[in-house]
Structure 1
Amino acid sequence: MAKSAMHKKGSAVREELMGKAMASKMATTVYNDPLMEGFADWTREAVFGLLWTRPGLDLKTRALITVITDTSTAAWPELRIHLRMARNQGWTEAELGEALLHTAGYIGAPSVREALLVAREVFEEMRAEA
């Protein structure tokens, strides 16, 4: 089936945020069956095509917001993905650590502790890949 213009727009934004290698890896490991392909198509249109491209905030700011919302909802697998996106958009490890620490007063230490542990792993992986 032909992909919509919004799907194509979302795919481009997704690749920009994730990087080509990560986007390709996810396509072959996570979204490689009909059940997950439907979800991937929806997120490319609705999330990346519509939300991430709205005027008013840049991609860097949106990436930080997403890291914070993942932390506050305990979405640890998503946090791994979004921390990479945030680093790709220019946030430093120190800035992301401080942003996560700041949330402890509002969402609680246990979630922030887990987020920092996830961040430590992701940052180590990214340094090893570089």
Structure 2
Amino acid sequence: MPKTEMYIRGTKVRQELMGDAMAERMVSDVYNDPLMEKFADWTREAVFGLLWTRPGLDLKTRALITVITDTATSAWPELRIHLRMARRQGWTEDELGEALLHTAGYIGAPSVREALLVAREVFAELRAEE
């Protein structure tokens, strides 16, 4: 794929959100074949390059919105990624837990329960990595 301006911007913000180790792990473990590589290129351009770099919201706020939408749509593998990104943007475990708990009244307890279980695992992994 040609490296467009949006691709380059997306790559930069993706690195900032994920950190080098996670970004490299995603490339080697998830996007390591032609089919998934095309998806990775598209997300760098369309998601990270266009959405995450729009004016009006900071990366920290966007990270929280993404955690909430993952929970609302039961996107558990994505939630694992986005919780890590939210922590890198400065959200604390308590703040993320409270944000997830708040959504229970709007999207339902079962989804929030699962999100909190995922968060518990991710937070334990992050503490072990420190």
TM-score, L = length of structure 2: 0.99
> Which residue pairs with 1:32 in the alignment?
32
Displacement of 1:4: 1.2
AA partner of residue 116 (structure 1) = L
Residues 33-112 of structure 1: matches in 2 within 5 Å? Answer: 33-112=33-112
What is aligned with 2:19?
19
Please give the secondary structure, in 2, of the residue aligned with 1:70.
Answer: helix
For residue 90 of structure 1, give the secondary structure of its aligned residue in structure 2: coil
Aligned to 2:124: 124
Identity %: 82
Q: Deviation of residue 27 (structure 1)?
A: 0.4
Alpha-carbon distance in 1 for matches of 2:4, 2:56 = 24
- The residue type equivalent to 2:21 in the other structure is A
* Aligned mates of 2:101, 2:2 — CA distance in 1: 44
Secondary structure of 1:45's aligned partner = helix
**Structural RMSD (CA):** 0.6
The alignment's TM-score, normalised by the length of structure 1, stands at 0.99
Gaps of 5+ in 2: none
**Structure 1 residues without counterparts, runs of 5 or longer:** none
Distance 2:127 2:8 in 1: 30
**Which stretches of structure 1, 4 residues or more, deviate above 2 A after TM superposition?**
none
* Structure 2: distance between partners of 1:94 and 1:118: 14
Deviations 1:75-126 (A, max 9, x none): 0000000000000000000000000000000000000000000000000000
